Chain A
Amino acid sequence: MLEIRGLRANAGDKEILRGIDLTVNAGEVHAVMGPNGSGKSTLAQVLAGHPAYEVTGGTVTYMGQDLLDLEPEERAQAGVFLAFQYPVEIPGVSNAYFLRAAYNEIRKAKGLEEADPMDFLDVLEEKLKVVEWGPEIMSRAVNSGFSGGEKKRNEILQMAVLEPLLAVLDETDSGLDIDALRIVAGGVNRLRRPDNAAIVVTHYQRLLNYIVPDYVHVLSGGRIVKSGGKELALELEARGYDWIEDLAGVA
């Protein structure tokens, strides 16, 4: 599904990603871990096409297409979804309007008919269950005045509605209390299917108790310095990131 080869990217003049290689197949969940500043959030944002980052080298092939050649909206329409670390507040646009607009844009791109507000309500009713929410949330402005936990739940709700093939979750666990974490992780698990995949970016192993990954990759200094199974996350939890950084220093 996704082939990242030698990916390099800058933020301004600073090189953040220094040659990432990663392969993700349908049905897999990959955890990307690493200390602060290792480049894991940058990797997530580059995959979604964030304009603040400049790709300086390497390739990303997604479902046979050159992902880097696509605009952010084209990536979304092709099934890539980024759950933001800091979801953006948009006062003046209701959650319902926003979600329906996004849903319909993606349907249009797939050659499907747009859903009218009534049809969309039916879709929504199901999806709200994924994050254990009632319909009240839909009349509020997007993320506006939402608590940290509500914002993250809203990201998972969007993911549920848009049904991506490749979901990239950028530190979705940060700032969540244990209940919110359970709901968010539960949502992600309910959306797992054999034909989709997820990249879960996280600093802490905690989230991986809930979303069990097939592979764990450790990023340091803009490179993947170690890959392994889910037991690697536990090792990191026990030993911290220092030994990884030492590893990177040697490498």
Chain B
Amino acid sequence: MTQAYLGQFETFAADGGSVPEWLQPVRRGAIDRFAQVGFPSPRDEEWRFTPVNAIAQAEFVPPASTARITREDLAPFIFGHPAWPLLVIVDGRLDQSLSVLPALQGGARVTSLSQAMAAPDETIARHLGHHAPVGESPFTALNTAFIREGAYVHVPAGVELADPVHVLFVATGETEGTVTHPRNLIVLERAARASVIESYVTLSPGRRYFTNAVTEVVSGEGAWTEHTRIQRESEGAYHVGLTHVEQAANSHYRSFTLAMGGAISRHNLHVRLNAPNIETLMYGLYLTRGEQVVDNHTAIYHDNPNCNSWEVYKGVLDDRSRAVFNGKVFVRPEAQKTDAKQTNRNLLLSDGARVDTKPQLEIFADDVKCTHGATVGRLDDVALFYLRSRGINATMAQRLLTYAFAAEVVEEVALEPVRTELERLVRERLAG
């Protein structure tokens, strides 16, 4: 259905809106790229384990702009403090009345991308579309062609955002078969600090629609970023997302991704270490059931010396669901003293569940510490017996051990209110 998107693009491009002039050729270039390559084929190594045809062969259309939702509709997805900056994007459009956008200290900005682009903005011009390469994935090309709405977070040098920023993408599912292309840009200048939560939720569980998201993160020298991504789309939906991170010297970036929605979902996390002395933490948790497919691809580019990366992804799979984990670690010859550790652990709750896990380390420096490990297992019978021997019934014992398995990564989320919410989500989901 490549053709359908090309048609949609012409309508979209003609629609104009207040788009900066420099963006038009970027979009045009991206759609040209997409037209040229089309959707990935299942034979494509990067997409071998993901049933990408389901997405490629279905026709999706942009949502009508009629959906109206209320604060009550959002209640299940909001957490933390009501004063936290909150950007609500409903079916690809900003909902100003549901958003909470206070003036921030030190000239920091949290705003919708379309609003930010209404006036000339040098930071956006310098970064938007400059990091996530359209040549790397057709989905990135497609997203870039349709850049219009998403979050723009800018934290100037030395500024610390007091509260986490929550960006909430809501799919109303009012009509079946819609597509949105959320686009986010997060820029932290030198020694800035921020915590950003990116959530994808739905009001219509079971509805089929397609979210194709891209987030670019630029972490300046000595900046500290915590980035939490919560994917709880409809279990009939398709979700493809890329998070592309650029890190400067002495910066700290920590990511936590929770994937529990979608019929088919794919998230790529790419982190480029552009200078020495960088720290990167990548935590992930996926919880699957039914016939869900959840695919996580991560890539970390150790291009410079003295950088540490630490990655733990865990999965809990039930029924006939499937998960894919592919973790790439590239260590260039000049990246001496690299310390990189990658772990992927999977817990299968049923005989029908399946995991394809593939660590992929390419190391060209000799003075490095790089380790990886992957496991696929079941609940420990002895541990189950131990709990049962204390009076805890089998179902509860299973749930307790499963939660404990998942909690080990959730515990790594630095901000307490965010961690508490994630714990609640995981507990609720595992309670079935």
Residues of chain A at the chain B interface (Cβ within 8 Å): 48-52, 71-73, 75-77, 81-82, 84, 87-88, 90-93, 98, 101-102, 105-106, 109, 141, 158, 162
Contacts and interface: CB of A to CB of B under 8 A. Distances in A.
A45 to B, nearest CB: 9
B385 A72 contact: yes
15 contacts: A48-B385, A71-B388, A73-B393, A76-B388, A77-B391, A82-B389, A87-B386, A88-B382, A91-B408, A92-B406, A98-B390, A101-B392, A105-B392, A106-B391, A162-B391
B1 interface: no
Given A71-B388, A72-B388, A92 B407 contact: yes
Interface in B367-386: 380-383, 385-386
Contacts of B387: 90, 98, 102
Contacts of B380: 88
A90 B404 contact: yes
Contacts of B407: 92
Contacts of A109: 391
Given A71-B388, A92-B407, 19 more contacts: A48-B389, A51-B381, A51-B385, A73-B389, A73-B393, A76-B389, A77-B391, A90-B383, A90-B386, A90-B401, A92-B405, A92-B408, A93-B401, A93-B403, A102-B387, A102-B390, A102-B392, A105-B390, A162-B391
Contacts, number: 77
Contacts of B404: 90-93, 141
Interface of B: 380-383, 385-394, 396-397, 400-401, 403-408, 411
B397 to A, nearest CB: 8
A48 B408 CA distance: 30
B396 A105 contact: yes
Given A88-B383, A90-B383, A105-B396, A162 B403 contact: no
B190 to A, nearest CB: 38
B427 to A, nearest CB: 12
A88 B390 contact: no
Contacts of B396: 101, 105
A199 to B, nearest CB: 15
Nearest to A75: B389
Contact of B391 (A50, A52, A76, A92): A76
Nearest to B408: A92
Given A90-B404, A91-B408, A92-B405, A73 B383 contact: no
Nearest to A45: B385
Q: Which 10 A-B pairs have the closest CB atoms?
A: A92-B404, A76-B391, A102-B390, A72-B388, A88-B386, A105-B391, A106-B391, A92-B407, A73-B388, A93-B404
Contacts of A91: 404, 408
A104 to B, nearest CB: 9
A235 B392 CA distance: 41
B431 to A, nearest CB: 14
A92 B396 CA distance: 15
A114 B382 CA distance: 27
B390 A158 contact: yes
A88 B379 CA distance: 13
Given A92-B403, A101-B396, A73 B408 contact: no
Task: Output the residue of B381, B392, B396, B403 with the most chain A CB within 10 A.
Answer: B392
Contacts of B405: 92
Nearest to B405: A92
Contacts of A158: 390
A94 to B, nearest CB: 10
B400 A93 contact: yes
A73 B391 contact: yes
Contact of A162 (B386, B388, B390, B394): B390
B408 A101 contact: no
B394 A71 contact: yes
A105 B393 contact: yes
Contacts of A98: 387, 390, 400
Task: Output the residue of A81, A93, A162 with the most chain B CB within 10 A.
Answer: A93
B400 A49 contact: no
Contacts of B411: 92
A162 B383 CA distance: 18
A141 B404 CA distance: 10
Contact of A73 (B381, B392, B401): B392
Contacts of B391: 73, 76-77, 102, 105-106, 109, 162
Contacts of A76: 388-391
Contacts of B392: 73, 101-102, 105
A201 to B, nearest CB: 15
A90 to B, nearest CB: 6
B285 to A, nearest CB: 12
A72 B383 contact: no
Task: Output the residue of B385, B388, B390, B401 with the most chain A CB within 10 A.
Answer: B390
A42 to B, nearest CB: 14
A51 B384 CA distance: 10
A23 B405 CA distance: 42
A82 B404 CA distance: 23
A92 B410 CA distance: 10
Contacts of A71: 388, 393-394
Nearest to A76: B391
Contacts of A162: 390-391
Contacts of A92: 403-408, 411
A141 B401 CA distance: 12
Contact of B394 (A73, A93, A141): A73
Contacts of B382: 88
B388 to A, nearest CB: 4
Contacts of A49: 385, 388-389
A156 to B, nearest CB: 13
A247 to B, nearest CB: 33
Nearest to B393: A73
A26 B428 CA distance: 44
A98 B406 CA distance: 16
B400 A101 contact: yes
Contacts of B394: 71, 73
Contacts of B389: 48-49, 72-73, 75-76, 81-82, 84
A71 B387 CA distance: 12
